[in-house]
């Protein structure tokens, strides 16, 4: 539950912050098309494969707005990886504006060396990629049950999943 809450708060903060930065006084957001449904961008088998064959629950829709939506997948512990949550987030239209802001370091995102067009924020385990004007983000929150509490670094898995999701967006 805490993992899901952390993932929802982190992704929602990023999305709402981006929307606030993108707001134009007196101009309503009226998308010409709805964003891709985040629960259709990844398969549980793909997530399982990235996490060593871990059991993954079907996607559960999270916060949805007229220009964004998210989907949560619970991932069981497997080997040295604690249980956690993978969240897929889609922002469209205006995804390009948000991505460009994040490229400049907004919210702590940084370009990933050797990965063209990929941003990653290590504090939240979030990766972002752009397809046209659609921003697709994947976040992995894997926090162990032992003290001291620490988040498992799932950067490689999250980026691999983001590459799959952005192709389907």
* pLDDT one-digit tens code per residue, 119-150: 999 999 999 999 999 999 999 999 988 888 88
Does position 11 have pLDDT exceeding 70, yes or no? Answer: no
Percentage of the chain beyond pLDDT 90 is: 70
Residue 28: how many CB atoms within 10 A of its CB? 7
Long-range CB contacts (within 8 A, 24+) of 163-166:
163/129, 164/41, 164/42, 164/46, 165/38, 165/41, 165/42, 165/88, 165/129, 165/136, 165/138, 166/129, 166/130, 166/131, 166/136
Greatest mean pLDDT among 97-106, 149-158, 159-168 lies in 159-168
Does position 18 have pLDDT exceeding 60, yes or no? Answer: no
- CATH assignment at residue 22: 3.40.1000
pLDDT in tens, 23-58: 444 445 555 567 889 999 999 999 999 999 999 999
Does position 20 have pLDDT exceeding 50, yes or no? Answer: no
What domain range includes position 17?
2-168
Structural domains of the chain, count? 1
Higher pLDDT, 69 or 26: 69
Distance, in Å, from the CA atom of 28 to the CA atom of 10, rounded to the nearest integer, reads 25
Q: Give the CA diameter of the chain.
A: 53
Does position 16 have pLDDT exceeding 60, yes or no? Answer: no
Q: Taking residues 52-77, what's their average pLDDT?
A: 96
Beta sheet of 119-121, edge-to-edge order: 60-64, 68-75, 84-91, 134-142, 126-131, 119-121, 110-111
* pTM of the shown model: 0.82
Does position 66 have pLDDT exceeding 80, yes or no? Answer: yes
Average pLDDT, whole number, for the chain? 86
Does position 105 have pLDDT exceeding 60, yes or no? Answer: yes
């Amino acid at each position: 539950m805490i993992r899901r809450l952390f993932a929802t708060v982190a992704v929602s903060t990023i999305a709402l912050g981006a929307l606030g930065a993108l707001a134009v006084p007196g101009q309503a957001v009226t998308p010409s098309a709805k964003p891709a449904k985040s629960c259709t961008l990844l398969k549980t088998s793909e997530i399982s494969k990235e996490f060593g064959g871990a059991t993954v629950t079907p996607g559960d829709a999270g916060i949805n707005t007229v220009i964004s939506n998210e989907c949560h997948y619970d991932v069981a512990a497997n080997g040295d990886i604690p249980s956690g949550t993978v969240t897929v987030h889609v922002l469209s239209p205006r995804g390009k504006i948000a991505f460009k802001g994040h490229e400049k370091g907004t919210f702590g995102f940084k370009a990933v060396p050797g990965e063209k067009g990929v941003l990653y924020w290590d504090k939240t385990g979030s990766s972002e990629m752009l397809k046209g004007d659609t921003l697709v983000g994947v976040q992995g929150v894997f926090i162990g049950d032992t003290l001291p509490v620490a988040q498992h670094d799932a950067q490689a898995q999250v980026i691999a999943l983001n590459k799959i999701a952005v192709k389907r967006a």
